[in-house]
Structure 1
Amino acid sequence: MTQLKMLQLKVKGIAGNLASFINLKILLITGVIVLGSCETQEAEYEELNDKKAVALFEEVVRETTPKVRELIEKYPEILSEKGTMKEDRVLALEKETQKVLLPMVNGTKGLLKSYDVDEKYLQQEFQDLDDPRIALVGLMILASESKEQMAVANNFVKAFGTVGYALQGATLQEDKDWVDCLIVAVGIDVVVDFVKGNITEAIAKKAIKKIASRALGAIGAAIAVYEFGSCMGWY
């Protein structure tokens, strides 16, 4: 009788240990599933944030380009090959350009954060965090992330393929360095990666560095945005 009870106790002990083992295994499996689910959700959330950031920037661009058009039309001589501008009009245009492009500049800063590029890096490359050329970096990302990726990218290339002009004194002279083509502005390797939609922090920083090195100026940036909107048929 005593042996039978001892056997029963052993069976109960084994059963208890087995139950504990099963529970532990279930707990571990559940933990792995939950952890994997969290990681998946986090990745999806980050992707959603990227898409949201691009969508918000596109809204800013669509709101800004008509204003840029009005600005260019207000100073028609800026697109004239042999046109001239008085110094006071040049200064006025530069001031208005900075004001009009500021929403796109700020939008680009927000957009770049989703690619882990902070304002400190922008300041390092542009010195001025309100530099109108920063808006062109945002357009690069928009061109890549757009659903109509190839069409937008092609329009962007056309926009930068337009001959620009450099101001020397009060005279506008043809100068391809003023608003150069996209490939010259950011480098062929960067263009290829952007068209593929393969945007990384390194590529974004390379585009920033290339654009920051170009002598576009505020007016050159405005002309590029104007041509981009025109190519897109936004006005």
Structure 2
Amino acid sequence: MTLALKNLSKTYIENGQSMEIFRDLNLTIESGSFVSLIGPSGSGKSTLCNLIAGIEKPDQGQILLDDQEITGMPGHVGYMFQKDLLLPWRTLRENVTLGCDLRRQDKKISSVEAIKGLEHFGLLDFADYYPHQLSGGMKQRGALLRTILFGQPTLLLDEPFGALDALTRREMQLWLLSIWIETKHTVLFITHDIEEAILLSDKIFVLSKYPAEVVEIIDVPFPRPRDPELIFSSGILPLKTKLFHLLGT
């Protein structure tokens, strides 16, 4: 589904002072594309996810999925936070079916979907483990499976690998790409890591400092499937330099 934000504005009031996060923000993410959003700290990247997910409402503007307005309406996109947020009292199998439970889906159907998903995500042997028994990468895979099983073709991924060590992070990036190639979900991926954005994305949206606006949209010129060695090659340097420069403006 095509996701479009039109003239989005949001201001917070803190300690009697107003902080304008967005002003007339516009962007469009085409159906089936993988788009990364980068910007300076405090530019409102997570706030934008909350608005798209319907957790918060903008002061003005519209959020559209395939031209249908979803502004302030939760449940239309899958949303994965930086922290896995797996419930410690539920097994991995029970955690990944949480969205199915909330939608009151038939338990037999949701259980079958969970088993298929756990097997596909390489987690079937850990289905009855609790979160504290899982590695960081396993918990993030479980969180992504839960997001996908929520059943929406548009996914918001808010720095999902930010807390992982470098090796696990790279493994998860490549694993995510393989899942996306199969599912062709529309993905908005929030990151502060320029190399991660280049490795994963079709396009990179660069936000300015607040009040945030899209200062540039970068088409990533490297063909798919992406070779992870790309980030060590000299060919990536001009794009990295440009993105660093844009983040400083």
What range is the shorter-chain TM-score in? under 0.3
When you count helix as a share of all residues, which structure comes out higher? Answer: 1
**Rg (Cα) greater in structure:** 1
TM-score, normalised to structure 2, is 0.25
Name the one with the larger strand percent.
Answer: 2
* Relative contact order higher in (CA < 8 Å, ≥ 6 apart): 2
